Chain A
Amino acid sequence: DTAVSQTPKYLVTQMGNDKSIKCEQNLGHDTMYWYKQDSKKFLKIMFSYNNKELIINETVPNRFSPKSPDKAHLNLHINSLELGDSAVYFCASSQDIYGYTFGSGTRLTVV
C-alpha cells in the first residue's frame, strides 16, 4: 500500500505545453505539500494545503497552480512550461509536526 503516490513518475514535454502532476495520500493526513528539487538537489517548498485550504504559497510563478479537490488529493498544474521548470517535484503529507511522508517524485523534463 503506497502511502503517498504521485503520477506520472516521469514527464517529458515541450516548452509551452500545459501539464499536470497528481498526488494522492491514503494516510488520513490533513496537510499536503508540493516541493521542487532542482538539479543541485536543493529542496524548496512550493505550496501547502490544509484540509483543502491553501496555507503556504511560496514565491512561485503563477503558471503553477495547485488544486486540492479533497484532503487526500493535491494536484499541480503547470501552464506554459519553460526549460527552467525541469526538476523533480515531490508531493508530501503530514498530520502533525512529527514528520512528513514523501512520494517518490515526478521527474519533469522540459525540452
Chain B
Amino acid sequence: AQSVTQLGSHVSVSEGALVLLRCNYSSSVPPYLFWYVQYPNQGLQLLLKYTTGATLVKGINGFEAEFKKSETSFHLTKPSAHMSDAAEYFCAVISRGSARQLTFGSGTQLTVLP
C-alpha cells in the first residue's frame, strides 16, 4: 500500500526565514502528490498538487513544492515565513490506478517565531 512520510512532526522557524517541510512517498510508480494546510479548528485546505508535467509546483500563499522522482520526495518550501503560516501541514498521495483514495502523512506542525 502507498504510504507517505513526513519528517519532523514539529518545525519552528523565525518570521522571514525559509520554510522547509519534508515529505517522502513509498512507491515505485510516482503517485499524485498533494499538500494540505489545516489552521486551528478548521478543515483542510489544498495548498498545491502535482499530477503530471512541470516538477516545480506553485501553490497558494507563496508556497511551492518540487517533485523529485529520484529521491521519492515532494518537499514544501516558502522563501519567507509569515506569522499567519503557523498551522498543521499534511502531505498526501493518491496512488495511480487506485480508487482515488487520498492517504495522508502524519502531519507537521509549523510554528513561526516573531
Q: Which residues from chain A sit less than 8 Å from chain B, CB to CB? A: 4, 31, 33, 40-45, 48, 55-56, 90, 92, 94, 96-105
Asked whether, in the complex, the Cβ of B42 is within 8 Å of the Cβ of A43, the reply is no
Asked whether, in the complex, the Cβ of A45 is within 8 Å of the Cβ of B101, the reply is yes
Which residues of B are found within 8 Å of A94, using beta-carbon distances?
100, 102
Asked whether, in the complex, the Cβ of A43 is within 8 Å of the Cβ of B99, the reply is no
Q: Nearest CB to that of B99 among chain A residues? A: A55
Q: How many A-B residue pairs have CB under 8 A?
A: 56
Q: With A97-B100, A100-B102, A102-B44 as given contacts, are A43 and B51 in contact (CB-CB < 8 Å)?
A: no
Report Cα–Cα, A51/B44, bound state, in Å. Answer: 23
Main secondary structure of the interface of A (DSSP, over half): strand
> Which of B64-72, B78-86, B103-111 lies at the interface?
B103-111
Main secondary structure of the interface of B (DSSP, over half): strand
Whole-angstrom distance from the CB of A11 to the nearest CB of chain B?
15
Which residues of A are found within 8 Å of B34, using beta-carbon distances?
99
Report Cα–Cα, A105/B88, bound state, in Å. Answer: 15
15 A-B pairs whose Cβ atoms sit less than 8 Å apart in the complex: A41-B38, A42-B107, A43-B107, A45-B102, A94-B102, A96-B100, A97-B32, A97-B100, A98-B32, A98-B49, A99-B49, A100-B102, A104-B42, A104-B43, A105-B42
Q: With A43-B90, A97-B94 as given contacts, are A90 and B100 in contact (CB-CB < 8 Å)?
A: no
Report Cα–Cα, A6/B101, bound state, in Å. Answer: 20
> Is B46 close to A, CB under 8 A?
yes
Asked whether, in the complex, the Cβ of B43 is within 8 Å of the Cβ of A102, the reply is yes
Asked whether, in the complex, the Cβ of B99 is within 8 Å of the Cβ of A56, the reply is yes
Which residues of B are found within 8 Å of A40, using beta-carbon distances?
106
Q: A45-B102, A100-B44 are in contact. List 9 more A-B contacts (CB 8 A).
A: A40-B106, A42-B104, A43-B44, A44-B104, A48-B99, A94-B102, A98-B49, A100-B102, A102-B45
